[in-house]
Each structure stands twice: as C-alpha cells, then as structure tokens.
Amino acid sequence: MQSDKTNDMRIMITAVENYIYERKGVRVQIVFNNMARFPAHFEMLLKAYEVAINYKNTK
C-alpha cells in the first residue's frame, strides 16, 4: 500500500485544490505569497491536506 504522506508542498497544494473542486465545484488556487504568515499558512495546508487525503481514502 502506498503512503499518501509527502513533504512536497506542490503535491499537497494540488491535492487540496482538487479536494475543494470535487467537494464544492469551485476551482481555487492556493498561493503562498506572504512570507510573514508562511508558518501559519503552512500549518493550515497540512491540516487541509490531511482532510483531503482522508476523504480520498474513504471513497
């Protein structure tokens, strides 16, 4: 069984963007352009990635 965990930010962003599109029908683009808020935004990305992967694995 392949693990869905990754440290690649681009993979995490893509998974979350696809999850939002699948669940809400809206395309979003996640952009990290505020380096002062990067730690907080990265934490949110990690949590969102976990939700997206759990959703994918339960389908």
C-alpha angle 47-29-16 in degrees, rounded to nearest 5: 30
Mean pLDDT of 23-35: 97
pLDDT band at 59 (very low <50, low <70, confident <90, very high): confident
Q: What is the pLDDT of residue 9?
A: 96
pLDDT band at 7 (very low <50, low <70, confident <90, very high): confident
Q: What is the pLDDT of residue 42?
A: 96
Distance CA 34, CA 37 (A): 6
Higher-scoring residue by pLDDT: 13, 56:
13
Give pTM, 2 decimals. Answer: 0.86
Q: Is 60 exceeded by the pLDDT of residue 2?
A: no
